[in-house]
């Protein structure tokens, strides 16, 4: 099992690395071509600098922060290196203008990539938190807060479906109702805290002795219900 998991993790890493390379190689190649004046004889290089932005946006939307920072840093290094060497779309301008254009380009690349990536990350975390909150609310809606057993609401939804499934598949379902005798006396004599303790202990015993496919519910008050799919009368009694 561990070998299978490691293999799947390795495949996932390779797939992710392939996706990064698929966008990184053309992005860096385009940056190099623009700032090395490789396209200068046929195309004006200054307008072509804007063609790098779609790659920056795409990486920000699709990859993690480390990948975005690394790719943006490589783009900036290529741009700075060639501009200092007197090549690229900014080199032909006067020194002050050239530096200003270079800084504007670097700022646009870095800010666009990081801001978009941060927004996407925050949105992803917000969706995860919302999904977890909805899952928690859904679970709380079908659980008894005292015993953590399923409650009557869950039973009303689950039992008809389980009975239909049993009838369709031709299997038996045992339903056991449990009512604690003289439970009111416990509350009256020892207090409600003691009564709650009795209920939680009963719930613990039920969970300990049922199968993984069985369902234990607190029906209400001191009443409990067990649903035992595919159980014979003998196994249900035991």
Catalytic residues: 222
- Cα–Cα distance measured from residue 83 to residue 49, given in angstroms and rounded to the nearest whole number: 13
- b/e per residue, 145-155, with b = 16+ CB within 10 A? eebebbbeebb
The count of residues in the chain is 238
Three-state SS string over 140-171 comes to: HHCECCCCCCECHHHHHHHHHHHHHHHHHHCC
Residue appearing with tokens 């990486």: 59
**Residue 60: which of 10, 121, 103 has the closest Cα?**
121
């Amino acid at each position: 099992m561990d070998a299978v998991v490691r293999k799947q993790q390795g495949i996932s890493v390779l797939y992710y690395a392939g996706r990064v390379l698929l966008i990184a190689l053309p992005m860096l190649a385009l940056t190099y071509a623009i700032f090395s004046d490789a396209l200068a004889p046929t195309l004006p290089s200054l307008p072509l600098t804007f063609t790098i932005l779609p790659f920056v946006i795409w990486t920000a939307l699709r990859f993690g922060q480390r990948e975005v920072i690394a790719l943006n840093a490589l783009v900036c290094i290529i741009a700075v290196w060639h501009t200092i060497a007197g090549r690229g779309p900014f080199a032909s301008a006067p020194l002050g203008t050239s530096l200003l254009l270079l800084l504007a380009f670097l700022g646009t690349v870095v800010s666009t990539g990081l801001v978009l990536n941060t927004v996407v990350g925050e949105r992803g975390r917000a969706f995860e938190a919302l999904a977890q909150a909805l899952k928690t609310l859904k679970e709380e809606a079908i659980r008894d807060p005292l015993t953590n057993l399923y409650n009557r609401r869950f039973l009303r939804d689950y039992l008809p479906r389980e009975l239909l499934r049993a009838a369709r598949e031709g299997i038996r379902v045992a339903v056991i109702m449990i009512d604690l005798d003289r439970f009111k006396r416990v509350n009256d004599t020892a207090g409600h805290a003691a009564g709650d303790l009795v209920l939680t202990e009963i719930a613990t015993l039920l969970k300990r002795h049922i199968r993984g496919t069985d369902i234990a519910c607190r029906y209400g008050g001191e009443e409990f219900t067990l649903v035992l799919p595919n159980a014979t009368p003998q196994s249900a009694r035991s």
